[in-house]
A = this chain, B = another copy of it.
Amino acid sequence: MTLKDLQYIKQKLAYHGLKVTHQRLVIYQVLQETDTHPAAEGIYEKIKKRNPSISLGTVYKTLEVFVKKGLIKKINTSEGNMRYDARIDNHNHIYCTNTKEIIDFKDLELDMLVRAFLKRKKIGNFTLKEFRLHISGEKIDPGKHIEITG
């Protein structure tokens, strides 16, 4: 996290009409640095080490504010726990039912494929906001990463 990045986050908060506070900076920062789609609790645990005064309630509240302002996204696992994601561009998720990991999976070809399909298949009385492909299964070797090729 460079000074430049910090400036950028400050701008982002201000742009969305949010006061720039230490808590908000830290929470956003941690979420941005984490690619495991943490729960509120997980973010809180990370923060606590350096900022023991920040309360869990504030983490929940702040994340919710971010979601409402469109700064971050809220997703859920198939077990029903809420997780947060600093990536707001449309992308898909691979969920491992064993390790509970959520792995990002962005693919323009797939986006186009589905988008074209939905255009053909008209859904009446409905305005589409977004679509996401949820892929679920299990890692073969939990110690290793999932690799997307081809």
A interface residues, Cβ below 8 angstroms from B: 74-82, 94, 96-97, 107, 109-110, 113-114, 117-118, 120-141, 144-150
A and B contact pairs by CB, cutoff 8 A, 25 listed: A74-B78, A75-B78, A76-B78, A80-B80, A80-B81, A96-B126, A107-B121, A113-B117, A120-B150, A121-B150, A122-B150, A124-B146, A125-B145, A125-B146, A126-B137, A126-B138, A126-B139, A126-B140, A127-B137, A127-B140, A128-B135, A130-B136, A131-B136, A132-B134, A134-B134
A129 neighbours in B (Cβ, 8 Å)? 97, 136-138
Residues of chain B lying within 8 A (CB to CB) of residue A96: 126
Give Cα distance in the complex from A104 to B13, angstroms: 38
A147 touches B125 (CB 8 A): yes
